[in-house]
Every structure is written in structure tokens, then in C-alpha cells.
């Protein structure tokens, strides 16, 4: 049987190479003078920003969750809605942003509610595509909590569509990842979609 590797396990190593020096050369290639006032500190600022926006590469999800897993007899859907996130599209290094709704159907354990947004951030702060980001969050909740099902819905707007290419400023994308009961049981899946749709706010 062919072995498959979960997307949540694929994580490149961080480099100590100076990003600022390369940003300086990019500015020159664009026809700018990186030494002029207004740009002379930009390479260092840009490096600091990029390292923060991709800090998810060094995030340890197990340490983020720590001991916030609890034995609880609860068999109804748990949903954390409207989790705001910001990420960078790996195709153009432009931002995409939006909201994620994360739900799971407990078996014998629940996870501290504040840990779910932290898990979202751990994967959003990497070079991403929306589809993979959605799947990674779902697979991580499944691995950590081992619930009967996980459902993740992600709504986002992409600057690579808004600022370039088709330049459609009001277009958005919706992706979902359904595992276990949310994939196999239509009634459970419809309940999730109904709950997420209630009092829905625009991005």
C-alpha cells in the first residue's frame, strides 16, 4: 500500500540568511535607490515583517495546545466562528485574509477554545494557498482531539485577485474541509452549514 504524507507534517527549515540584503537588491532592480530617505531602513523593516508573517514555520502546534485537552462527556457540535486570519499567497507573496469557522464533534475530549485560533495562526503565518490552509487546520484538530468529525470553512479575499490579474476587488473564495461525521453524515454537515450561516458577517 502506498504511503501518504499528511500536509501538516511538511515544514521547511528556517534560514539565517539576511533577507534585508536581498530586499535591497530587489529595490534596485525596481529602479529605486535603497539608500534614499524613506527606503534606507525599508529592507530591515521588510525582513522583520516577513519573519513575523511566516513565523508559523517555527510554531510547534503541540506546545501551543499544551495541556488544554480535557476529558468531557459532550456529544454536540463545538464551533468557533469568525476566526480572523492573515496569510501570504505562495504564488505572488501577496496577502490574503478572511475568516475561518472551525467545528468538531467531540468523542471523549474537548480542546480549550482559545487554542483553536492559535492553531489557525500557526498555519496562516506561512506561505500558503487557501485550500491547503483549510485542510491543515482540519487535520490538526482531528489529530489532537480525535473527535468524531471535524469541519472547517474558510472565507477569504486575495490581493493577487484584487490588485493584479483580474482586479476584482469584491471577489471572495470559500473552501472547506470535512472529516469524519461531517463528511459522511449529510444531516451533521447541514447542521454545521446552518450554524455557520447564522448571523454571518461579510469579510
Domains of the chain are: 17-53 (no CATH), 66-197 (3.30.1130.10)
Share of the chain above pLDDT 90, in %: 72
Residue 159: pLDDT band with limits 50, 70, 90: confident
Rg (CA), the chain: 20
Check pLDDT > 90 for residue 15: no
Return all residues near 87 (Cβ < 8 A) that are at least 6 apart: 53, 95, 96, 97, 124, 125, 126, 128, 130, 133
CB 68 within 8 A of CB 62: no
- Note the pLDDT of residue 75: 87
Residue 3: pLDDT band with limits 50, 70, 90: very low
Check pLDDT > 50 for residue 176: yes
Over the stretch 80-103, which tens digit does the pLDDT of each residue have?
999 999 999 999 999 999 999 999
Across 153-182, average pLDDT: 86
CB 138 within 8 A of CB 150: yes
- Note the pLDDT of residue 203: 46
Check pLDDT > 70 for residue 78: yes
User: Would you please indicate which residues are annotated as catalytic (active-site) residues?
Assistant: 89-92, 130, 158, 160
Residue 143, all three cell numbers: 489529530
Place of cell 511566516: 54
- Note the pLDDT of residue 172: 85
Check pLDDT > 80 for residue 4: no
Residue 72, all three cell numbers: 468531557
Return all residues near 161 (Cβ < 8 A) that are at least 6 apart: 167, 168, 171
Tell the burial category of 202 from Cβ atoms under 10 Å away from its Cβ (0-12, 13-18, 19+): exposed
CB 147 within 8 A of CB 180: yes
Residue 198: pLDDT band with limits 50, 70, 90: low
Check pLDDT > 60 for residue 122: yes
Amino acid at each position: 500500500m502506498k504511503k501518504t504524507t499528511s500536509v501538516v507534517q511538511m515544514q521547511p527549515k528556517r534560514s539565517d540568511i539576511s533577507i534585508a540584503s536581498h530586499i535591497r537588491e530587489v529595490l534596485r532592480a525596481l529602479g529605486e535607490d535603497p539608500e534614499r530617505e524613506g527606503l534606507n531602513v525599508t529592507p530591515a523593516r521588510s525582513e522583520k515583517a516577513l519573519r513575523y508573517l511566516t513565523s508559523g514555520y517555527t510554531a510547534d502546534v503541540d506546545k501551543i495546545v499544551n495541556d488544554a485537552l480535557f476529558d468531557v462527556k459532550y456529544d454536540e457540535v463545538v464551533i468557533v466562528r469568525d476566526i480572523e486570519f492573515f496569510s501570504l499567497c505562495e504564488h505572488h507573496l501577496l496577502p490574503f485574509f478572511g475568516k475561518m469557522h472551525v467545528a468538531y464533534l467531540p468523542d471523549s475530549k474537548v480542546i480549550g477554545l482559545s487554542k483553536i485560533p492559535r492553531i489557525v495562526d500557526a498555519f496562516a503565518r506561512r506561505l500558503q494557498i487557501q485550500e491547503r490552509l483549510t485542510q491543515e487546520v482540519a487535520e490538526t484538530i482531528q489529530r489532537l482531539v480525535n473527535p468524531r468529525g471535524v469541519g472547517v470553512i474558510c472565507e477569504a479575499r486575495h490581493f493577487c485577485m484584487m490588485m493584479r490579474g483580474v482586479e476584482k476587488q469584491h471577489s471572495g473564495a470559500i473552501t472547506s474541509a470535512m472529516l469524519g461525521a461531517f463528511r459522511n453524515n449529510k444531516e451533521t454537515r447541514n447542521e454545521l452549514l446552518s450554524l455557520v450561516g447564522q448571523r454571518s458577517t461579510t469579510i
